Amino acid sequence: MEQYIKLSTLNDFIFCPKSIYYHNLYDNYEKNLYQEEAQKEGTKIHETIDNRTYSTSKHILQWISVYNEYYKIAWKIDIFNVKTWELIERKTQIQTSSPAPLLKGEGSKKLVPKIYLGYRYQLWGQMFCLEEMWYEVKSLWIYSVKDNKKYRIYKPSTNQLLDFEKFLRKYREFRLDDKNFKQNTKKCIKCIYRELCDYYIWEVYPQLKLDM
């Protein structure tokens, strides 16, 4: 039986394909044992959703399990408003940056939010799950909790949908012992699973060679 892909691991896979294996290993441990400050803050912010105490309104669905048989994807949604048909994913804070350096004499430019591809895929996946469960999804949003801002995520175009399907195939076909895997050392330093990873150790410590 083909396993369902957890939507919560899509951004992890984009960050580093190997991290999804360590993500699953850590699922059985208390998060405080391995999470760093940024992850701990995100977990705390998310508690009202996990406990379904974000809202007492009956038209607000919170942390319900969803799945899609066609794509073989599953997980849980943050918030779905069945009155407005809005699907909302909460993040600790969406960072912003200037689109280009300002020239002398120019006024300030509107900051551009850094919406990672994994965030889009996660929301699209949740939408596909809800639609297969006969819910209508009219709009998708990412809510930045710390600065109380909402960012619209548009539904995928035909080409974006093909890229999403290609990404799911790549996810399923990846193997931990893939000889073509190339690490990104800048990402390794930031990875919360680095202590388990042989690639991270290889970068930090000299390898012992046995004389034959």
CATH number at residue 180: 3.90.320.10
Structure tokens at 8: 């919560």
8 A C-beta contact, residue 36 and residue 192: yes
**Type of residue found at 79:** I
Residue 42 lies in a domain: yes
Structurally, how many domains does the chain consist of?
1
Query: Is residue 116 domain-resident?
Result: yes
Residue 101 falls within a domain, yes or no? no
The whole-number pLDDT of residue 33 equals 46
For residue 148, count CB atoms less than 10 angstroms from its CB and return exposed for 0-12, middle for 13-18, buried for 19 or more: exposed
pTM above 0.75, yes or no: yes
Domain that holds residue 32: 5-96+112-204
Question: The tokens of 44 are what?
Answer: 């705390």
Residue 108 CA: distances (Å) to CA of 43, 103, 104, 105, 111: 34, 10, 11, 10, 9
Residue 140 has pLDDT above 50, yes or no: yes
38-92: per-residue pLDDT in tens? 545 545 555 654 555 566 788 899 989 999 999 999 999 999 999 999 999 999 9
Instruction: Write the single-letter amino acid at 174.
Output: F
Rounded Cα–Cα distance for residues 94 and 90 (Å)? 10
Q: Count CA within 13 A, CB hemisphere, residue 101.
A: 2
With 50 as the cut, is the pLDDT of residue 131 above it?
yes
